[in-house]
Amino acid sequence: MRSESHTDKQRDRWVRFRILLVALGLVLGFVLLAARSVQVQLFQRETWATFANKQVQRSLRLEARRGDIYDRNGQALAVSIKMDSLAANPRVVQDPAQTARQLAEVIDSPVAVLETRLRQPRAFVWLKNYLTPKEADAVRALGLKGVHFVKENRRYYPNVELAGHVLGFVGRDHYGLEGLEISQDTILSGESGTHPGAKDARGQIIYTHGLPADSGPQGYSLRLTLDKRIQHIAEKELQTSVSTFEAKSGMAVVMAPETGEILAMAVSPSFNPNAFSSYRPSAWRNRTVTDAFEPGSTFKIFLLAAALEEGLVHPDDLFYCEQGRYRVLNHTIHDMRKFGWLSLAQILRLSSNIGAVKVGEKLGANRFYSYIHAFGFGSPTGLGLPGETSGLIRRPDDWSSVDLAAASFGQSLSVSAVQLTMALGAVANDGLLMEPLLIREVLDARGQVIRRNKPRVVRRVLSKATAQVLKQLLADVLTQGGTGTQAALDQYLAAGKTGTAQKSSRLGSGYAIDRYTASFVGFVPAENPRIVVVVVINEPQKGRYGGLVAAPAFRRISRQTLHCLKVTPEETSTEAKNESPPDSTDPLTEPPPIVLQPVAFGQSDYDHGTVMPDLTGLSLRAALDRIKNFSGLLSIHGSGRVVGQSPEPGRNFDSVGSCCLILTAE
């Protein structure tokens, strides 16, 4: 009995001990918990609060709305609009197959593609971006569970193809890919913003600070120098010429010479930047800045400008044009007609290649190159568009006499349409070369101007006196008998130059006999130019000459542009008012491009043994006929009959570089 009592007491003590042990453990645990609570709540409060917020709170990224692009008059050319895109949460969709069939009927997407996306083990999938309002309404009417809309910004070009090559386009990620959209992407895209929010246990967004504002962050907008009306005119008339003459492509640029502002920049064929992926990449590029071509006879403008500025020639100076054939080393240069003596003015008016070559020989390669460079050829214009070409102008050290001859009438070198426009603008602007200007202003989200680009003079290329003389010579090109009669306007006196250049052979050497670049460059009004217009037609199949193919487009673009600018007609009638194309068989519509044909050394086109005859008493016409084989520089003073000459009769032509005739009235 006593033994059982002892055992019970031991068991009781052991139970009490265990209870005490557990109690002590609980007390210790409570003390530790309290200490840890004090540590977390007081000493580590900020650390754990931040950690908790990171798990719950979310800073929602708000994509910046891309800035708009306007023309000079505030007309929208590119805008960003909010559109409904369709998304889904596959975890919530109850019947993927049925949902896919219903959606396919209203959003024009394959059932199989939609069903595959709806079966993905994800909480979010895109079904279709940028629904039309009709599609969005149809989807809403279905009331499908797990299917929802997301607002997205989409770049939209309201004028469709208008100025598409200038504007470019943006990709699906809203980054610019071509044109101004890529060159000005940093300005247009802006900086993304954030909006505070949180997420629940399922990861759903909770807007703890209210819904994001509709305005949100926004990029800067651009106001261009382009005029929407003039851009439309240029594109329409360019396309008409490309279609009429079945050309491969075409370019046109309209510029204000006093400021360098680009008013229009057209390329044909055009493309729609709203659906850029439907076109080949070659259709996207702005050929007016990316493509280099041989300018042909339009380059004679800058040859004569250099020679006049240097004081080497005078408009009345005569050059012998070799009756249409002139040898330079082992090549023969041709004119379309057999010209004899032509004045400098006639060389430009009739576009004699041989006459231009002789002016080039008098000017020399080094001086000619320095003026070519001064006019801006051989380097980018700084217009600010992607892919701008520098053209190809080799240094004079690499020129042979054949290269100098070819360059004198615009072959063996290449330029861009924008370079040609700005260089001619220097002539129209009394010798001042302007920097091309395409972006007029940068605007903030409220439309306030934060930056304004002002016209800037690059340098003076010609004196005002030389520019005035050149304007008169170029105006004469458009009169009856000149190569540019098709460019003449009824009520304005225009000035300009035709150009026709053979294109390089696809075989890699020489020139093709059936591929040409036809062009016309000019300005109007001639005395006080308001616009410079350059038209270039690439590989026309019906007709080849710039005076026939490109000059009519210049006339139509200029006439409508002057009307838009409200330039008062001068009531000036030109001798040639041709609204219909001239007979293509007329040899004066345009001289031929360069044709370089090798000839054997020692062969001669004229008699080297001819001596200077006695011209005293002869009329000017009779005197010129007597010395038609003279190839040097001829100067004539007075009118009537010859009373004096230098050199004296009997001198061999080979030893004479110039001839002076003095005439007096009978």
> Tokens 């002016």, residue?
359
User: Which of these, 528, 538, 522, 517, lies nearest to 484 by C-alpha position?
Assistant: 522
DSSP SS3 for 402: helix
Contact 421, 532 (CB under 8 A): yes
- Altogether, the residues listed in the chain come to a count of 666
Contact 310, 367 (CB under 8 A): yes
DSSP SS3 for 452: strand
What is the DSSP-derived secondary structure letter of residue 396? G
DSSP SS3 for 132: coil
R_g over Cα of the chain: 39
DSSP symbols for 344-383: HHHHHHHT-HHHHHHHHHHH-HHHHHHHHHHTTTTS----
C-alpha 565/C-alpha 568 separation (Å) is 9
C-alpha 661/C-alpha 666 separation (Å) is 15
Contact 503, 529 (CB under 8 A): no
Residue 466: how many CB atoms within 10 A of its CB?
Answer: 21
Query: Rounded to the nearest 10 degrees, what angle do helices 365-374 and 300-309 cross at?
Result: 110
254 membership: H or E segment, kind and range: strand 249-256
- Bridge partners (DSSP) of residue 305 are none
C-alpha 91/C-alpha 334 separation (Å) is 80
Residue 332: how many CB atoms within 10 A of its CB?
Answer: 17
**Token digits of residue 248:** 């491969």
Count of alpha carbons within 13 Å of 285, Cβ hemisphere only? 15
Q: Which residues contact 110 (CB under 8 A, 6 or more apart)?
A: 104
User: What's the N-to-C CA distance of the chain in angstroms?
Assistant: 177
Count of alpha carbons within 13 Å of 272, Cβ hemisphere only? 8
> Tokens 């057209």, residue?
266
Choosing from 80, 221, 268, 297, the catalytic residue is: 297
To the query of whether residue 297 is one of the catalytic residues in this protein, the response is yes
- Bridge partners (DSSP) of residue 598 are 331
DSSP symbols for 139-206: HHHH--TTEEEEEEEEEE-TTTTTTHHHH-EE-TTS-EEEHHHHHTHHHHH---EEEEEEE-TT--EE
Pairing of strands 261-268, 249-256: antiparallel
- Bridge partners (DSSP) of residue 81 are 154
Active site residues: 297
